[in-house]
Amino acid sequence: AQTVTQSQPEMSVQEAETVTLSCTYDTSENNYYLFWYKQPPSRQMILVIRQEAYKQQNATENRFSVNFQKAAKSFSLKISDSQLGDTAMYFCAFMKRPGRGGATNKLIFGTGTLLAVQP
């Protein structure tokens, strides 16, 4: 069974600084996807960034980037130039690549990291 671990329950960063959130996962699969989701106080889940395991290049979305280490099963999120609006709970998630015919698989989440951006 796959598991996702986020070992930092809470983190704090000053506005405009950089912060890194950690995520590790355990799987015997070779083809899978990893995601970071953001849940602000409104509780609406928002996709931040996605990484395909077969791609060696780290994904980047504006101020958000990941450090994907497949052998170490590590998937950290770096937020550059932190903004007050980045204050939220951040969840790391794993999904095995869907099989033939497009049948989907479970999306498994970590316990989350609460990030507070201080002015």
Contact positions vs other proteins (CB under 8 A): 6, 9, 33, 35, 42-45, 47, 50, 52, 91, 95, 97-98, 101-104, 106-112
Nearest to other proteins of 86, 90 (CB atom): 90
**Which pair of structure tokens corresponds to residue 27?**
């799987």
- Cα–Cα distance measured from residue 104 to residue 109, given in angstroms and rounded to the nearest whole number: 16
With CA atoms as reference, report the closest residue to 63 among 17, 26, 97.
Answer: 17
CB of 35 to other proteins, least distance (A): 6
CB of 115 to other proteins, least distance (A): 15
Q: Read off the DSSP letter of residue 81.
A: S
- Cα–Cα distance measured from residue 19 to residue 29, given in angstroms and rounded to the nearest whole number: 29
Contact yes or no for 117/95 (Cβ under 8 A): no
Nearest to other proteins of 16, 47 (CB atom): 47
CB of 105 to other proteins, least distance (A): 9
Nearest to other proteins of 39, 65 (CB atom): 39
Nearest to other proteins of 50, 70 (CB atom): 50
Within 10 angstroms of residue 27's Cβ, the number of other Cβ atoms is 15
